[in-house]
Chains A and B, each alone.
Chain A
Amino acid sequence: MRIQVDSEKCQGHNRCYALAPELFDVDDYGNAMVIGDGSVPPELEERARLAAANCPEFAITISD
């Protein structure tokens, strides 16, 4: 599984960072980015799905 944050869509709601800080980080402006290359270890896949499902701006995409 891989995750991506669309920086054009992200408005800094900070839901992903709160739900999955192992996968997402935020910059000084509160905008989200993926940690590393965006690949998700199997044990964090559920968290990644939750982060995507809680983003009000639909800024997170998940691909296999």
Chain B
Amino acid sequence: MTGYQTPTSIYGPVTDWATDFDHADPQYNRHAHAIWAELRDKCPVAHSDRYGGTWLPVTHEYVREIAYDTENFTSRAVVVSTVVPEDPAPIGGAPPITSDPPFHHEARRLVLPPFSPKKIAEWEPEIRKLCNELLDKMEAQAKGGLTVDAAIQYAQHIPVNVIARMLGFPLEDDDLFREFVHDILENINGDPEDRMRAFERIDAYLLAQIDDHVENPRDDLTGYLLEVDLFGEKLPKEMVGGFILLLLVAGIDTTWSAIGSSLWHLATHADDRHRLANDPSLMTTAIEEFLRVYAPVTMARLVAQDHDFHGCPMKKDEWVLLPFPAANLDPAEVPDADKVLIDRQENRHGAFGLGIHRCLGSNLARLELRVAVEEFVKRFPDFELAHGEEGVVWSVGQIRGPRALPVRVLTA
């Protein structure tokens, strides 16, 4: 039913998480919290020879330090894989996420306004409507006593649908967008040639959509990118494609993962589920706590030049993973870090990154997450995993969240 295929790896299974880790090993995301806790006591910077050399710091202090250090670490490539993109700094292939200062600042200013809190708030009614359409179908199924899937039938559709509308892309291409995301973010340890072909396919699709917008101008995000000025000139078409690649890919499985992980938590923690159902005013702090504990995004950097990082001999062009979720769970930074407290008032988490690359879409992601969880628990106040943990399929790679989440709806 899931249709989910774990990508084929050119590497074998992981033998040791401190010296041979692979974040694309299916065991990694499933057991991430335990792996990070173990590494935090042991290392706290793990290294692996895979992908041409990869470092994994797991403390808040180190993750923060690297996120702020744009001299020693470049963002020109942010997805660890068997292929290092050729796009040079400071622009990279998908600005501004792949850009370094000073270009980064200019590129980011172009796309911040459509994602500002006030602009994004306008989308709330439409997101709520979309959630309810999905829930209507699930409710009919649940009433017949059938299991429903909170990831496949619900979470995965919400961000895809919203970003397609924002970009003015055909809504019926949603399966294709999820394939793109899978190819870019999950098929990371396969044959490099397959990866290159996947990128060519995506580029061709985006170019066709851009051409369509040139011929039929309309008021959407693609049209906006075709009109804006950068350094007094219109953006070249390839750069418009790069911006769109970021907007399309970065918002989809990240938010889908955050929604899925939050619902996974509620499905597996009856006390929090009942508390939230009885007191919806807890939703705001609960959402922030889910973001802290289940932060879906681990970013990456390339080492810009050989240097020593707290005793780690980092070599130019090695990868560095930035596991923001591991930083959020560091007991040195957060009181009761390993406890999920849905009424936690002080929550300085870095789920959306730290420093200049703070997630551009964070306001949209928060809105989608809150509305999706609100509507789900309103419709199904009580639910549990239908087949235990065995039935849950976790993603592989830098974005962590459930890809299949079969739940049984409980009736009072």
Q: Give the complex CA separation of A55 and B346 in angstroms.
A: 9
Complex interface bits, B344-381 against A, C-beta within 8 A gives 1, otherwise 0? 01111110101110100011001000000000000000
CB pair B116–A26 under 8 Å, yes or no, is yes
Q: Which of A14, A30, A57 contacts B354 (CB 8 A)?
A: A57
| CB proximity of A8 to chain B, nearest CB, Å | 11
Q: Are A30 and B117 also in contact (CB < 8 A) when A11-B356, A13-B362, A14-B363 are?
A: yes
For A28, give the chain B residue with the smallest CB separation: B113
CB pair B345–A50 under 8 Å, yes or no, is yes
How many residues of A are in contact with the other chain, CB < 8 A?
18
Q: Are A30 and B116 also in contact (CB < 8 A) when A11-B356, A14-B363 are?
A: yes
Q: Which residues of B contact A58 (CB under 8 A)?
A: 348
Q: Are A14 and B362 also in contact (CB < 8 A) when A26-B116, A29-B109, A30-B116 are?
A: yes
Q: Which of A18, A26, A55 contacts B348 (CB 8 A)?
A: A55
B312: Cβ under 8 A from any A Cβ: no
Q: Are A28 and B116 also in contact (CB < 8 A) when A11-B358, A14-B363 are?
A: yes
Q: Which residues of B contact A11 (CB under 8 A)?
A: 354-356, 358
Q: Are A13 and B115 also in contact (CB < 8 A) when A50-B345, A54-B346, A54-B347 are?
A: no
Q: Which residues of A contact B345 (CB under 8 A)?
A: 50, 53
| CB proximity of A31 to chain B, nearest CB, Å | 8
B270: Cβ under 8 A from any A Cβ: no
For B288, give the chain A residue with the smallest CB separation: A54
A12: Cβ under 8 A from any B Cβ: yes
B118: Cβ under 8 A from any A Cβ: yes
Q: Which residues of B contact A53 (CB under 8 A)?
A: 345-346, 348
10 A-B residue pairings within 8 Å (CB atoms): A11-B358, A27-B116, A28-B112, A29-B112, A30-B115, A30-B116, A30-B363, A53-B346, A54-B347, A57-B354
Interface residues of B (CB under 8 A from A): 109, 112-113, 115-118, 284, 288, 345-350, 352, 354-356, 358, 362-363, 366
Interface residues of A (CB under 8 A from B): 11-14, 17-18, 26-30, 50, 53-58
